[in-house]
Structure formats: C-alpha cells, structure tokens
Amino acid sequence: MRGVNRLRRMLRRPATFVRMARGFRGVLHNGVAKDRYGALIDFTYHHYALGDTLTGLVKFACEAEDRGARAVDLFVYVNPGLPRAPAQGFITPDNYQSYLDSLFPAFLCQPHLASLRLIRDPLTLALTMASMHWSGAPHWPSLKQHTERRMTYPVGHQEINAFHARNGRLPLLEAPRGYEGWARRFRETVLKDRFVVCINPRQAKLTPTPTTTHRDAPLSEWYAFIDRAAETMPDVVFLMLGGFQEWEHRLLSRRNVMIPRLTGLGLAHELALMHVADAFIGTSSGFATKATFSDRPYLIVDIEAFFSTYIEVPVGGERYPFAVDHQRLVWTKENADLLYDYLAELYSATTGRQPARLAGRPAANAASANAASANAASANAASAGASAGGSGGAGDGASGAEVLQAGARS
C-alpha cells in the first residue's frame, strides 16, 4: 500500500512525477535504449499460464526484430496485494509466489533476452512504463494498452504468422538461459545414444486446481503406446514432463520412461531437455507450445476446434504455417495406433532403422516382470538428476558435471 500511496501523491504533482520519471529513465538506460525492445508482463491482467507466456515471448521477439531492436529487456510485474487477473481467483496474496516460481523459468526462454527484471512496487512500474514511453524506444504494451488492462486469451498467432510470411522464419524459443549446457551434458552422459522423446499426456484432473478435464489424455492409450514402443524400439526413452502430481505411479513400472520431477528436477530442466530431445509428443498444452516454437519434431494432439481462429489454422489442418518437417497437429483424441505410427515413422526417418516386429507375446513392460529394471532405471535417473541441486539451479557449474558423470557410471 505504501507504493500505491506514493504513486497517488506523485500524480497530484505532475511536474514532480515527470522529473522523477526522467531521472528513473537514466537509471534504466539499458531498458530504454533505442536498439533494445522493452516488454512488460503484468500479472494483474496476464494469466499464469505456460502456453500463453511462451507464445507472448515469441510475439515480443517478432516485434523487436520488426522494429530494429537487437535485444529484449523483459519486465515482469506482480502486485503482491493483487497478484492475478480476475479469471484466476485461486491465486491469492498468500500463494502467488509458488505460481510465479513455477512459471519463472519460461521467461528465460525469451529469444534475444538481454535482461529480466521482476517488479513488485506500483510506483516502480509506473516510472518504468513512463521511461519507456518518453524515450521513444520500441516497447510493449503502449501506455494506452496498459491502462486498459485487457488481454485476449488464448494468445493468438496472428502477429507470429505475419512475421513468418514476411521473413520465412521465426525467432524460436531457446532453452532457459543457463540450462542448455546442463541439458547437453545430461543427454551425452545419461541418455547417451538413446532416441529421446519428451511426452506430456495432459492430466489436469490430478492437479490441485483441475480445469477443463475434458482435455485430459486417455492414459490407457498412452500406456499401450509406450509398451509397444518398448517391444519394437528398445532404444527409445520417454521423458515424462509435468508437475509431480500430473502423472500416475504406473509409469514407474515402465523401464523406457524417465520422470525428471521424480529426481528433483523442475520446469527449467524440462524445457532445456526438450531443446535437446529428438521429439515431443503430447496434448495441446504449455509444453506443446515450447515444441511449437522450436525446430524439434512434434506430434500435438487433441487441439480444440475453437483454437483454430487464434492460430489461423483450419480445423483438421496438420501444420502451422511456420512448421517444418515432422511437425504435425491432430485435432482429435489420440489413440495408441496414432501415437505409435507417428513415432515409428519419425524413428525410421531419423535413425534409418525400422522398428522390430512384435513377437506376439505379452508386452515387455509388464509391471510384474520389470520391477527390478524399473528400480535400476529410477536409481540411475536419481543420480543424474542430482546435478540440478549440485549446480545451484543453472546447471553449468563443475559440481553439476561431476554428479552427471557419477550418474552415468552408476
């Protein structure tokens, strides 16, 4: 409240406010340089949502390039007294920090990111906006847009598609800043020569705030797919992405599945692993958005028809305008055959090997037959995953590399 009261007092004395803002502009000279683009995410009207956040980051990068900026300065504002948009009433002053912490690694995927600042004081936010506006530097939102405090959800692809039409390319999302080196070492020392597929069968019903559960994936189909892949493509390993509560414990009995969250890793590590994986397969969701704006092959399933307007793809269309080879959209619920056929095609095209023929016997992943294998796999994953804590989060420290090497030897 002190920040709000200060702001009110300043607004009663416009001349004083202008002097302060101009002085503040000097302090934030990096944020208002004319060859740098300033972007604000204000959670009083933005949503805490991975997919919308990542789409917004790509839009910022497109507009920055269009306006001749060489880098993006990202400002994230959270008002501790009013930390969320009206649609997300379950976020309160008492719990907003956990939602912000969970989402924060996504900001580090911003293409051309130069700086990231978290603001929690209304006066500081007002001075930041005024500084960007008076400097004439490219920025978003405009003062008018910011005062209207309205956003359309889901965030659409119109500007992104237009940029691609003009330039024939997109600024793609990056691995979270500081985590790509860790992810590449993890792949080299733990996953080695495995064919790595990140998966995310959406399971909102298992979360503390279940919403739109009709979009949840049919897990029986996924289990059948994973088991069949274990029989015919034994060098494939699936990385199950998502919160610790978003997967069923039956996955633990499958030797070709690794669960990063089980070993203490978090969203930043998962987004970095997507950056070095061979493919992504999953429900239309936040992780699917990371795959969408990447050069990795993907199969995104169960896209809702209403989303067509926002992404400018007709219902039933199999590709985004900017998609590359083996990037495919499916607008219906997935089944085991659909998932398997896509993976088999991609596996053959990438490795030059054909999946083995099924031997007509029970799936090799039966829980009763594989408890020992599952325990061994979990132990190896835990040893490797410990690198997250050893490296202080960024994953590029020497201690993290040493733990990874120990995990590879175990």
* Interval 58-64 mean pLDDT: 96
Phi, psi at 273, each rounded to 5°: -65, -35
Q: Please, is 325 exposed, middle or buried when counting C-beta atoms within 10 Å of its C-beta (0-12, 13-18, 19+)? A: exposed
Residue 37: its H or E element: strand 36-42
pLDDT in tens, 180-197: 999 999 999 999 999 999
Residue 6 predicted with pLDDT over 50: yes
Evaluate whether 384 touches 186 at the Cβ level (below 8 Å): yes
For residues 98 and 102, give the distance between their C-alpha atoms in angstroms, rounded to a whole number: 6
Cα separation values, 182 from 115, 116, 382, Å: 21, 21, 15
**Model pLDDT, residue 128:** 87
Give me the domains of the chain, ranges plus CATH numbers.
2-162 (no CATH), 180-409 (3.40.50.2000)
Residue 282 predicted with pLDDT over 50: yes
Cα separation values, 71 from 36, 58, 176, 219, 234, Å: 5, 13, 16, 42, 43
pLDDT in tens, 106-131: 999 999 999 999 999 998 998 888 88
Q: Please, is 354 exposed, middle or buried when counting C-beta atoms within 10 Å of its C-beta (0-12, 13-18, 19+)? A: exposed
Please report, to the nearest 10 degrees, the dihedral formed by the alpha carbons of residues 275, 277, 280, 285 taken in order. -30
For residues 395 and 142, give the distance between their C-alpha atoms in angstroms, rounded to a whole number: 37
Q: What is the pTM of this model?
A: 0.79
**Model pLDDT, residue 131:** 82
Q: What value does the mean pLDDT of the chain take?
A: 82
For residues 251 and 367, give the distance between their C-alpha atoms in angstroms, rounded to a whole number: 9
Q: Helix 336-351 crosses helix 219-232 at what angle (to 10 degrees)?
A: 30
Residue 383 predicted with pLDDT over 70: no
